[in-house]
C-alpha cells in the first residue's frame, strides 16, 4: 500500500527533470513513500514517438510494486515468446519462451506497452498525491549542487524561476541538460547508421506466422519486428531497419523507399499502409558517473544503447526505482547520506555489464556477415533454446532478472 504521509512542511521536495517514463516512475516511487516531489517536463505533453515497448519481467515486478501492473497489462500486449529468424532463408532459427522462468518471477512474460502509455499512467497516478506536482512546458536550464540542497533554474511561459530541492533526479533524456550542467562526460560512441522504425497495421502474425517479438539476422539488412497494442488496442507492427550511413532523411523516409524496404522484407500484394515513419540516431554511451553530490542521473540521461533487445528503458526504470528507494531511506528513515553512494556504485556497472554488453552483442549477431560466424551463432541459439538449463540462464540475463539479483 502507498504510504500517503508527507514530509514535514519545511522539508525541501525532491526535484525531477524530465517527464519521460523514467522521470515519471522516479516521481511516483518517491511520492508513494510520502516524499514531496516536483517534476518539470520541457514539452507540453508526453512524447508519443514510437520508442520503447518491451517491458521485461524484472521491470514488471517493479511496476507491480508501484501498483501499475494490471493497467500496464490492460494497455499493452502480453508476449511470452520471442524468435530469432534468418532473414536471408526466411526460416525461424530459434524461439525462446519466458514460461521457463515461472519459478523465477511472478511475471514469466514481457508486456509490449508503449512508453508514452506508461508515462501517462504514472502521471495519472501522481495526480492522487497532494505532495506531488507535475509541470509541463517547464524546462530546466541550469543546476547548482550545494552542500545542503540543489537549486535549478526553470523556464516556463517566458518566465524564469529558481527552485530549490533536497535532491535532483536528472531524467531528461540522452541530451540531458542536467548531465551537461554537471559537466559529466557521456563516454562511448555513436553508430554511423541510423535506425528506421516503420509502423503498420499489416498483420505479420496472420500473414507470415511471426510472433510478437522477432529478431531477423541478415548480412545485408537485419530487421526487428514487434507488435504493440496501439492507442486504440487494435494492434500495430513496428519494423526496424538500419539505414545506410550517409542516407538523408528524404532518401530514407520517402514513400517509394519505405515501400521498397517493406516489400523486400515481406513481399505482399499492394502497398503497405504506413502510419508512422521515424528515424533515430543510435549510441552506446554511459555517463562517467551517475551522481554528483545531491544530483543524480537516471535513464537515458545516464546511459543510451541500441534498442535491439529492448533494454534501455527497462534499465532506466530500475535506476528510478532503486534511486527512489535510497533517497527514501535517507529522507524518511534518517539513514546516513553515504548510502546514496550505492546508486552510482551499483547502477553504472550493471548498465555496462548487462545493457551495453548485451545490446552491442545483439547488434553484432544480427548484422554478422561472415557465413561461418552466422552459422555458429545460429547453432548457439538452437542449442540454447533446446537445453532447458541454458534456455533459462539465457532468459534470466536477457530479462534483466540476473542484473537485479546480482
Ligand atoms: C526505436 C527505439 C526502440 C526502443 N525500444 C525499447 C524497448 O523496447 N525497451 C526498452 O527498454 N527501451 C527501448 N528503447 C529505449 C527507450 O526509448 C529509452 O531508454 C527511454 O525513452 C528512456 O526514457 P527516459 O525517460 O530516460 O528519457 P526520454 O524518454 O527521452 O524522456 C526525457 C524527457 O525529458 C524531457 N526533457 C529534456 N530536456 C529537459 C529539460 N531541460 N527540462 C525538463 N525536461 C526535459 C524530454 O522532453 C522528455 O520528455 C528504444 C529506443 C528507440 C529509439
Give the pLDDT score at 90: 94
Residue 122 in contact with ligand 1 by CB distance below 6 A: no
Beta strands in 341-401 (DSSP E): none
Give the pLDDT score at 3: 39
Residue 138 CA: which ligand 1 atom is closest? 43
**CA 306–ligand 1 middle distance (angstroms):** 12
pTM recorded for the entire structure: 0.96
Residue 43 in contact with ligand 1 by CB distance below 6 A: yes
Cα separation, 373 vs 379, whole angstroms? 10
**CA 177–ligand 1 middle distance (angstroms):** 14
Q: Check: CB of residue 55 under 8 Å from CB of residue 63.
A: yes
Give the pLDDT score at 405: 85
Give the pLDDT score at 331: 96
Residue 179 in contact with ligand 1 by CB distance below 6 A: no
| Parallel/antiparallel/unpaired status of strands 14-17 and 167-170 | parallel
Residue 314 CA: which ligand 1 atom is closest? 11
- Most informative mutation of 51, 118, 240 for ligand 1 (most atoms within 8 A of CB): 51
Cα separation, 363 vs 222, whole angstroms? 9
Give the pLDDT score at 180: 98
Dihedrals φ, ψ of 281, to 5°?
Answer: -75, 145
SS3 state of residue 39: strand
Give the pLDDT score at 6: 41
Residue whose C-alpha cell reads 514539452 in the numeric block: 43
Give the pLDDT score at 5: 36
Cα separation, 178 vs 176, whole angstroms? 5
Beta strands in 244-328 (DSSP E): 276-280, 283-287, 291-292, 295-297, 303-304
Cα separation, 53 vs 113, whole angstroms? 5
Lookup: cell for 176: 540531458
Q: Check: CB of residue 112 under 8 Å from CB of residue 227.
A: yes
Tell me the pLDDT of the chain (406 aa) as tens digits: 333 334 434 489 999 999 999 999 999 999 999 999 999 999 999 999 999 999 999 999 999 999 999 999 999 999 999 999 999 999 999 999 999 999 999 999 999 999 999 999 999 999 999 999 999 999 999 999 999 999 999 999 999 999 999 999 999 999 999 999 999 999 999 999 999 999 999 999 999 999 999 999 999 999 999 999 999 999 999 999 999 988 999 999 999 999 999 999 999 999 999 999 999 999 999 999 999 999 999 999 999 999 999 999 999 999 999 999 999 999 999 999 999 999 999 999 999 999 999 999 999 999 999 999 999 999 999 999 999 999 999 999 999 999 998 7
Give the pLDDT score at 4: 38
Residue whose C-alpha cell reads 499492394 in the numeric block: 270
Take atom 49 of ligand 1 and give the residue whose Cα is closest. 20
**CA 358–ligand 1 middle distance (angstroms):** 19
Give the pLDDT score at 1: 34
Residue 228 in contact with ligand 1 by CB distance below 6 A: no
Take atom 35 of ligand 1 and give the residue whose Cα is closest. 18
- Most informative mutation of 156, 177, 307 for ligand 1 (most atoms within 8 A of CB): 307
Give the pLDDT score at 406: 77
Give the pLDDT score at 11: 82
Take atom 48 of ligand 1 and give the residue whose Cα is closest. 20
Cα separation, 52 vs 359, whole angstroms? 14
Amino acid at each position: 500500500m502507498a504510504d500517503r504521509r508527507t514530509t514535514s512542511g519545511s522539508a525541501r521536495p525532491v526535484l525531477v527533470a524530465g517527464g519521460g517514463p523514467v522521470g515519471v516512475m522516479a516521481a511516483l516511487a518517491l511520492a508513494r513513500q510520502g516524499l514531496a516531489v516536483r517534476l518539470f517536463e520541457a514539452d507540453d505533453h508526453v512524447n508519443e514517438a514510437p520508442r520503447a515497448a518491451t517491458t521485461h519481467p524484472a521491470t514488471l515486478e517493479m511496476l507491480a510494486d508501484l501498483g501499475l501492473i494490471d493497467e500496464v497489462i490492460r494497455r499493452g500486449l502480453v508476449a511470452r515468446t520471442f524468435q530469432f529468424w534468418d532473414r536471408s532463408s526466411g526460416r525461424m532459427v530459434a524461439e525462446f519462451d519466458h514460461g521457463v522462468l515461472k519459478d523465477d518471477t511472478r511475471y514469466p512474460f514481457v508486456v509490449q506497452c508503449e512508453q508514452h502509455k506508461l508515462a501517462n499512467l504514472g502521471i495519472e497516478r501522481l495526480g492522487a498525491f497532494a505532495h506531488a506536482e507535475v509541470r509541463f512546458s517547464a524546462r530546466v536550464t541550469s543546476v547548482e549542487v550545494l552542500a545542503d540542497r540543489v537549486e535549478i533554474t526553470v523556464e516556463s511561459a517566458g518566465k524564469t524561476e529558481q527552485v530549490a530541492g533536497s535532491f535532483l533526479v536528472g531524467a531528461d533524456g540522452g541530451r540531458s541538460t542536467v548531465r551537461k550542467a554537471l559537466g559529466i562526460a557521456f563516454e562511448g560512441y555513436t553508430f554511423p547508421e541510423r535506425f528506421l522504425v516503420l509502423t503498420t497495421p499489416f498483420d505479420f502474425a496472420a500473414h507470415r506466422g511471426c510472433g510478437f517479438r522477432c529478431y531477423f539476422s541478415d548480412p545485408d539488412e537485419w530487421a526487428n519486428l514487434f507488435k504493440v497494442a496501439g492507442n486504440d488496442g487494435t494492434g500495430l507492427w513496428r519494423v526496424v531497419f538500419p539505414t545506410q550511413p550517409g542516407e538523408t532523411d528524404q532518401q530514407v523516409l520517402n514513400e517509394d523507399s519505405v515501400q521498397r524496404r517493406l516489400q523486400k522484407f515481406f513481399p505482399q500484394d499492394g502497398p503497405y499502409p504506413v502510419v508512422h515513419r521515424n528515424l533515430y540516431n543510435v549510441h552506446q554511451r554511459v555517463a562517467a558517473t551517475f551522481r554528483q553530490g545531491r544530483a543524480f542521473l537516471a535513464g537515458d540521461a545516464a546511459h543510451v544503447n541500441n534498442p535491439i533487445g529492448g533494454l534501455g528503458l527497462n534499465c532506466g526504470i530500475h535506476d528510478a526505482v532503486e534511486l527512489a528507494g535510497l533517497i527514501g531511506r535517507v529522507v524518511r528513515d534518517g539513514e546516513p547520506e553515504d548510502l546514496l553512494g550505492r546508486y552510482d556504485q551499483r547502477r553504472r556497472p550493471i548498465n555496462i555489464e548487462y545493457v551495453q554488453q548485451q545490446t552491442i552483442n545483439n547488434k553484432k549477431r544480427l548484422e554478422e556477415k561472415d557465413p561461418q560466424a552466422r552459422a555458429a551463432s545460429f547453432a548457439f541459439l538452437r542449442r540454447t533454446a533446446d537445453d532447458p538449463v541454458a534456455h533459462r540462464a539465457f532468459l534470466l540475463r536477457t530479462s534483466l532478472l540476473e542484473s537485479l539479483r546480482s
